[in-house]
Amino acid sequence: YIPMRGANWRPATRRSNDGYLKKQIYLRLEHVPLKDISKFQVQMLFNQLAAAGYSYNVVYHVRDIIKAALAEAVEQDVLERNVARKTVIPEIEEREKPVLPVEWYAKLLAGLRTSRDRAIFLIASFCALRPS
Mean pLDDT of 8-18: 91
Count CB atoms within 10 A of the CB of residue 4.
12
2 confidence band (pLDDT: 50, 70, 90): confident
Helix (H) and strand (E) counts in the chain: 7, 0
Sketch the domain layout of the chain as residue ranges.
2-75, 99-132
- Are 87 and 37 contacting, i.e. CB atoms less than 8 angstroms apart? no
Instruction: Tell me the pLDDT tens digit for each residue of 58-90.
Output: 999 999 999 999 999 999 999 999 999 999 999
State what percent of residues in the chain have pLDDT above 90: 65
Above 90 in pLDDT, residue 122?
A: no
Question: Which of 123 and 132 is assigned the larger pLDDT?
Answer: 123
What is the pLDDT, as a whole number, of residue 80? 95
Mean pLDDT of 83-110: 87
Residue in 40, 51, 37, 1 with CA at minimum distance from that of residue 21? 1
Q: How far apart are CA 76 and CA 66, in angstroms?
A: 15
Mention every residue, 6+ apart, whose C-beta is less than 8 A from residue 118: 109, 112
Above 70 in pLDDT, residue 131?
A: no
Above 60 in pLDDT, residue 94?
A: yes
Above 80 in pLDDT, residue 129?
A: no
